[in-house]
Homo-oligomer: A and B are copies of this chain.
Amino acid sequence: MADASGAPRRRDAAATRQALLEAARRRFTRLGYDGTTLREVAADAGVNLALIKRYFDSKEGLFKAAIASTPRALGGPAGVPGDRARLADALSRQLSADAWPEFGEHPVLMLLRVSGDEQVDALRRAALQDFTRQILDGSGTGPEKDPERLLRAELLVALGVGVAVIRSAVGLQPLRDATPDALRGPLRDVIDALLGPESEPVEG
């Protein structure tokens, strides 16, 4: 393993770590924790197996990093704070039938696998809390203090999780093949119902 002993150039280290994370998310989402082997993850990323150990220590470490990075990897509503129409648009794209061809399933499913590991459970909770915050940020109603509004944002996260689970496990039609265009109107209605009317844009 000559590769592994030579330190990679610094500008390649971040890219290698990123490639391993992406490959890990794909495998863990499609095949679960037990069905994923580090050898295949390394092969998918086109790097030496030893680099997983270097960057993530172990399979568990790789799984934890994959979970922790999932909310940002979904490219969710985080990028469009305060724009209600864009929030509805982002969610309808994320939850449409063909949104994740490279995963085979919606990557949020990775967060739902029962682990029994308390540290992993805490990471999964943190990832869903991150989604909830992204939704509140994107809702155009400002930051959240009221527990009812937090519950309402969590119900929107639950809707997304439910769509992913039903599509994966049951394939109910017309939900299974719903396009972003079909989802946008209903999701916009749910967002408005749960989060209330959009507030006036703040100048500046």
Interface residues of A (CB under 8 A from B): 111-114, 121, 124-125, 128-129, 132, 147-148, 150-152, 154-155, 157-163, 165-166, 169-172, 174-175, 178, 182-183, 185-187, 189-190, 192-194
Chosen A-B contacts, 27 in total, with CB atoms closer than 8 Å, are A111-B169, A112-B165, A112-B169, A113-B169, A114-B169, A124-B169, A125-B170, A125-B172, A128-B166, A128-B172, A151-B174, A151-B175, A151-B178, A151-B183, A152-B186, A154-B172, A154-B174, A155-B187, A158-B159, A158-B163, A159-B159, A161-B162, A161-B165, A189-B193, A189-B194, A190-B190, A190-B193
- Bound CA–CA A116/B78 (angstroms): 36
**How many copies, total?**
2
**Chain B residues within 8 Å of A163, by CB:** 155, 158, 162
**Chain B residues within 8 Å of A150, by CB:** 174
- Bound CA–CA A34/B113 (angstroms): 16
Expressed in whole angstroms, the minimum distance between the Cβ of A167 and any Cβ of chain B is: 9
- Bound CA–CA A178/B182 (angstroms): 31
With beta carbons under 8 angstroms apart, the residue of B114, B158, B171, B193 that contacts A121 is B171
Contact call A157/B161, Cβ cutoff below 8 A: no
**Chain B residues within 8 Å of A161, by CB:** 161-162, 165-166
**Chain B residues within 8 Å of A165, by CB:** 112, 158, 161-162, 165
If A150-B174, A189-B193 are given as contacts, then 7 extra A-B residue pairs at C-beta distance below 8 Å, sorted by A number, are: A124-B169, A124-B170, A125-B170, A128-B172, A147-B174, A154-B166, A190-B193
With beta carbons under 8 angstroms apart, the residue of B151, B155, B171, B189 that contacts A125 is B171
**Chain B residues within 8 Å of A183, by CB:** 151
